[in-house]
Amino acid sequence: MADTRTVLSIRGAERRYRADHAALAGADLDLQAGRITALLGPSGSGKSTLLRAIAGLERLEAGSIRLGDTVWNDATTHIPPEARRVGMVFQDYALFPHMTALANVAFGLTGPDKNARALAQLDAAELGHRAKAYPHELSGGEQQRVALARALAPEPTVVLLDEPFSGLDRRLRGELRERTVDTLRAAGTTALIVTHDAEEAMAVADELALMDGGLIIQTGAPDDVWMSPVSATAAKLLGDVEIIEARVTAGQAETPFGPVDANGFDDGQPVSVLIRPRALSLSLDADGVFTVTRRRSTGPHLTHRFHSGAGEWTAQTPSPSPITEGDRVSVTLDPTYVRVVPA
Ligand code: ADP
């Protein structure tokens, strides 16, 4: 059983760069000991600002950051970055160009055995044989691994990684992602990884935190968040979704594909029905009210755009499928991938 002790606790974090715009608007987030939290949000949602506040590079205007019982930042306290023992991996890795890989990793260490400890860290990253190489002699993936080794070497309380895979090509990114997760787990480190890529967030996260407009809008296990988004905004962050606005009547919400259960909502209440493309099944039907306008292959599956007088939507269909552009179809809805949330 994983230890789910809260190590770092952020409450009501506020930070404004401009008077009329809050980069952090009262964000709450807990980081659990030894677990990897992925922070997913669109560009400008406040992810970097939150990371910088945890590192101590930004001071909050309201709210608090606590490590256990120790206040790092609140109305009266601001512990400087160097006293927080936070490891950082920056988007561009920020390695010292004039230092070898070993010197980079040893940089934050003290004591007579610091080079031996740095080498052990490089060995753990399977880069011991590159200890004497300079950053420009290393591939992008190797530089990232050196940056991670440097962040982990002082055995930090928390490691923060800001878009750590964004500089790498797609194939390498998947491989390095797995490796990074393995390294963080082996070190037992509490980590926060910032990304704007939903697939990446799902792949690395023990815990997923969704951020929008300076707020954490949902947290939980990746599967739970994917299956049960709390809002249309949360659903959109994790992938394509059709959003149908409806009003509840007799415990149901009407959609172009038939009614769905809206248990727990009052009659007359406006709701959003969230439908993942895989919830929509098309069948050839000469009397169907929908017409396919576009068919695209994504490899493992197909997407069909289809419309009626009431709108246009996308279905994700198993491949192969005989249904093609211009076909008349009827549509059925799999409630497994449908959620009703307040509008
Ligand atoms: P993200 O990392 O999610 O892209 P940021 O935390 O970088 O978001 O930015 C959040 C908001 O704060 C954005 O509107 C951004 O323009 C603004 N912002 C970030 N840093 C600064 C800064 N140093 N000065 C002024 N505005 C900033």
pLDDT 10s digits, 200-234: 999 999 999 999 999 999 999 999 999 999 999 99
**pLDDT confidence of residue 166:** 85
Q: CA-to-CA distance for 191 and 18, rounded, in angstroms?
A: 29
Check pocket membership of 49 for ligand 1, CB cut-off 6 A: yes
Token pair listed for 191: 């980590």
Question: Does the pLDDT at position 3 exceed 80?
Answer: no
Residue with tokens 């928390």: 158
Give the C-alpha separation, 236 to 42, whole Å.
10
- Kindly report, residue by residue over 39-74, the tens digit of the pLDDT: 999 999 999 999 999 999 999 999 999 999 999 999
Backbone angles phi, psi at 7, to 5 degrees: -95, -50
- Is the distance from the beta carbon of residue 19 to the nearest atom of ligand 1 less than 6 Å? no
Q: Is the CB of 63 under 6 A from ligand 1?
A: no
- pTM for the model stands at 0.92
Measured in whole angstroms, the distance separating CA 338 from the mean position of its chain's CA atoms is: 21
* Distance between CA atoms of residues 146 and 138, nearest Å: 9
C-beta separation of 101 from 127 below 8 A: yes
190 lines ligand 1 (CB under 6 A): no
Q: What integer is the mean pLDDT of 168-192?
A: 89
For ligand 1, atom 5, which residue shows the shortest CA distance? 46
Cα dist from 308 to 282, 288, 326, 330, whole Å: 13, 10, 12, 10
Could you count the other beta carbons within 10 Å of the beta carbon of residue 80? 9
